Structure 1
């Protein structure tokens, strides 16, 4: 943990049980059929991302929820809305960057991904949203080795 935390004692929620997904069959026999991505699959990719300041996952802190994931598979679009634990969260941009990087690494490249702060939950919500959804700003952030190291730590699997 980092000294001087803005939210030193966050509320920690219980993780939801993982559910199996039923995979639609390809009755037409087309071996090139692409299975659609759904809300649960996207949530499964991001739920275990570790918070940059706490030893908890974004799911445990309710920063991300399954209901805050929108998927339009037909138009290859994913939108994740996240909720920082406090209005002045200094790590909101890092959290959003972690979500973006995880989805860039996990989803097929055809998907456009939007990451936004839940409306009214952060003091600089518009600025954070602009940073997280601007390709040049994201690319510049990912050229910073210290930031990449922080993102990789948040994305590293935990074995608890």
Structure 2
């Protein structure tokens, strides 16, 4: 999303949004996903949860203060790919949460691995990385087929 709040189209089936390094960016990224991806039901809920985890990790462990994060939504051929780019060099690594249910850290990537059909990390141009997940999309957009994101 450009600073004025409009999405930056990358191709017919992709949109990129830019968010500041701020906790409010997590619900804003979910809102952008809901508004643009045309998903419903369980698929929409899982996609929102996966995106929340990736954006939260980018905010917590990725971009240094003052840097933005980029969220790109790709939808084509029955797949939704969510990418979160940040300027941090620290690669995500799954860890085990303490058995105590009050431990708030260590479950995010385990959740991503359990819910996503695939996920990984890729380099990006410039400093940092792109963490991505893919999810099979069984929901039909309202106009049928793999319509461009709106």
Does TM, scored on the shorter chain, surpass 0.5? no
* Structure with more contact order per residue of length (Cα contacts < 8 Å, sep ≥ 6): 2
- Work out which of the two has the higher radius of gyration on C-alpha atoms and give 1 or 2: 1
**TM-score normalised by length of structure 1:** 0.34
